[in-house]
Amino acid sequence: MFLIFLLSLITRVIMFSSARHINFLRQTITTLCRNNSTLVIAEHNNQKLIPSTLNTITAAISLGEVTCLVAGTQCKQVAAEVAKVKGVKKVILADNEVYTGFLPEALTPLLLAAQNQFKFSHIVAPATAFGKGLAPRLAAKLDVSPISDIIGIKDKDTFVRTIYAGNAIQTLKSKDNVKVITVRGTAFEAAGHEGGDGTVEDAPSCDVKNDLSQFIGQELSKSDRPELTSASTVISGGRGMKNGDNFKLLYDLADKMGAAVGASRAAVDAGFVPNDMQVGQTGKIVAPDLYIAVGISGAIQHLAGMKDSKVIVAINKDPEAPIFQVADYGIVQDLFKAVPEMTDLVDKN
Ligand code: FAD
């Protein structure tokens, strides 16, 4: 009886409503039917996960049951790795040559097919070059607003991020029925590599043809040092280093300390070091246990990328340099004297 009443009510609403009302009704029903379930887009190199995926998984766990998408070429071992991550319930695997280079144009149709089948409430990626390239395209195709670089989650609709080069915190509530989010890795702990027992299944099939772009090749800088965004110690050099050759001072110290080496934008723009070493608002965001800023003045755009570091040490010959306002320890000295002395001390200990 109640069912007949409900059906006749819905029929009447549909008959007498405008398109806008029907759309609202459809959205409400979709939202009611959808449990919170989150898709994490795993970033990897076809062999192993990029560490920021683990931080993204932690963020995703607080939003609902976690499924991970692993898309790439010959990447089955990554799917197996993700399935073991604590909190991951399911892995969907798309292994196809078309995903070579992880191009957003190739991955987006796959994500749309996955969304169509599973109706996720949130789709989440790391706020790295990979995630930042993919999320806006996906959001546009889903007709929702991307929520970029979040540093906190209040509830399933409400997110926290920084604005104005990290000088203000914004809390925003999204009314979109699927949230497309990128997550700042340094703001969330990494999920445990072990402890999960997720299942692995094939991703939904979709038209994998990509006529829009073609992957030609990539030149990756090779380094035995830890990756900048996941290193526990980072030593960065600025314009005060004077030239690229002098960065050897920092590499020597870094190798003794097991640290990664970063740079200010001024050092990158001057051609001292490649731009994948840039820390800051328009570079990488880092939050290591120890950050050593060498010959860096401490402009707000640089601080935006490192001020959440647990301990900050600054070496600068100018006692008025703004970097000393955020530093826990400051050394007012010529860096060409201070850094070799530090390297010797580390050597002796
Ligand atoms: P400087 O400001 O020139 O400072 C050099 C410092 O070295 C000085 O404090 C000096 O006292 C010290 N020094 C010199 N010689 C010695 C010595 N022998 N021994 C000890 N100390 C010495 N910057 C970033 O870093 N990252 C970003 O992502 C970034 N994004 C930006 C985005 C925008 C939109 C804009 C407008 C700017 C951005 N910048 C960024 C640039 C930023 O504003 C600064 O210009 C830059 O950070 C300055 O770099 P620096 O500290 O190395 O150079």
So where are the chain's domains? 35-202, 228-348
Shortest-distance atom of ligand 1 to CA 321 = 9
- Residue 167's pLDDT is what? 80
Per-residue pLDDT for 50 more than 50?
A: yes
CATH code of the domain occupying 35-202: 3.40.50.620
Q: Are the beta carbons of 287 and 186 closer than 8 angstroms? A: yes
- pLDDT band (50, 70, 90) for residue 32: very low
Measured between alpha carbons, how far is 47 from 54 in angstroms, rounded to an integer? 15
Task: Report the predicted TM-score, pTM, of the whole model to 2 decimal places.
Answer: 0.79
Helix axes 2-16, 19-33, angle to 10 degrees: 140
Chain position carrying tokens 């050394």: 331
Alpha carbon nearest to ligand 1 atom 4, residue: 297
Q: Do domains 35-202 and 228-348 have the same CATH topology?
A: yes
Measured between alpha carbons, how far is 204 from 46 in angstroms, rounded to an integer? 19
Shortest-distance atom of ligand 1 to CA 239 = 52
- pLDDT band (50, 70, 90) for residue 22: very low
- Residue 204's pLDDT is what? 94
Per-residue pLDDT for 17 more than 60?
A: no
Alpha carbon nearest to ligand 1 atom 44, residue: 299
Query: What is the number of alpha carbons within 13 Å of residue 221 lying toward its C-beta?
Result: 11
Measured between alpha carbons, how far is 92 from 118 in angstroms, rounded to an integer? 11
Average confidence score pLDDT of the chain = 90
Average pLDDT in the 91-113 region? 96
Q: pLDDT tens, 305-329?
A: 999 999 999 999 999 999 999 999 9
- Of residues 120 and 13, more confidence is placed in 120
Per-residue pLDDT for 102 more than 50?
A: yes
The helix or strand, by DSSP H or E, that contains position 339, with its residue range, turns out to be helix 335-348
- Residue 57's pLDDT is what? 98
Alpha carbon nearest to ligand 1 atom 38, residue: 301
Measured between alpha carbons, how far is 335 from 11 in angstroms, rounded to an integer? 77
Nearest to 338 by CA among 250, 255, 257: 250
Residue type, 280: G
Average pLDDT in the 185-193 region? 93
Order of strands, sheet of 329-332, starting from the edge strand that comes earlier in the sequence: 260-263, 233-237, 290-294, 311-316, 329-332
**All residues at 6 or more sequence positions from 274 whose CB lies less than 8 Å from its CB, including other chains:** 221, 268
How many Å separate Cα 310 from the centre of its chain? 20
Measured between alpha carbons, how far is 182 from 296 in angstroms, rounded to an integer? 29
DSSP category for residue 46? S
Measured between alpha carbons, how far is 313 from 257 in angstroms, rounded to an integer? 14
Q: Report the percentage of the chain scoring pLDDT > 70.
A: 90
Q: Report the percentage of the chain scoring pLDDT > 90.
A: 80
Residues with CB under 6 Å of ligand 1 are 238-240, 264-267, 278-283, 295-297, 299, 301-302, 305, 316-318, 321, 334-336
Look at the alpha carbons of 326, 286, 258, 336 in this order and tell me if their dihedral is positive or negative: negative
- pLDDT band (50, 70, 90) for residue 133: very high
Nearest to 109 by CA among 227, 199, 212, 27: 212
- Residue 344's pLDDT is what? 96
Give the 3-state secondary structure of residue 340: helix
Per-residue pLDDT for 13 more than 70?
A: no
Alpha carbon nearest to ligand 1 atom 52, residue: 238
Average pLDDT in the 17-34 region? 46
Average pLDDT in the 40-69 region? 96
Shortest-distance atom of ligand 1 to CA 295 = 7
Backbone angles phi, psi at 106, to 5 degrees: -85, -35
Give the 3-state secondary structure of residue 87: coil
For the ranges 15-19, 193-197, 277-281, 284-288, the lowest mean pLDDT is seen at 15-19
Average pLDDT in the 75-97 region? 97
- Residue 35's pLDDT is what? 59
Q: How many residues does the chain have?
A: 349
Q: Are the beta carbons of 161 and 147 closer than 8 angstroms? A: yes
Per-residue pLDDT for 31 more than 80?
A: no
Asked if CATH classification 3.40.50.300 holds for the domain at 228-348, the reply, yes or no, is no
- Residue 164's pLDDT is what? 81
